[in-house]
């Protein structure tokens, strides 16, 4: 839904918009806030994926390290050979 539809729906729900209208300045303020919030949401959506939560190289290194550790079996021989 675009910001205009959201604003009109909010106005119709909370102020009975088609029947009774707010003051012109109040309606302008509500529309300005709706546009500002839409721009902020668009900016957040554009920058949301810039932060990388996982490091792929580090994950791959840890997987290979764990795989190599699983292949190694240390045998301890406590028999005293003379």
pLDDT at 82: 61
Distance, CA of 65 to CA of 69 (rounded, Å): 6
Residue 15's CB is within 10 A of a number of other CB atoms, namely 15
Whole-number pLDDT of residue 13: 85
Radius of gyration, alpha carbons of the chain: 31
- The one-digit pLDDT tens for each residue of the chain (82 residues) are 677 788 778 888 888 777 778 788 888 888 888 888 888 887 777 666 656 678 888 999 999 998 888 887 766 667 666 6
User: Quick one: pLDDT at residue 30?
Assistant: 84
d(C-alpha 38, C-alpha 41), whole Å: 5
């Amino acid at each position: 839904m675009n910001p205009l539809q959201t604003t009109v729906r909010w106005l119709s729900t909370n102020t009975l918009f088609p029947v009774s209208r707010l003051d012109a300045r109040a309606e302008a303020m509500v529309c300005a806030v709706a546009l500002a919030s839409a721009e902020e949401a668009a900016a957040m959506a554009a920058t949301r994926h810039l932060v990388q939560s996982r490091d792929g190289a580090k994950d791959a290194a840890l997987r290979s390290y764990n795989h190599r550790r699983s292949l190694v079996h240390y045998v301890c021989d406590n028999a005293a050979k003379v």
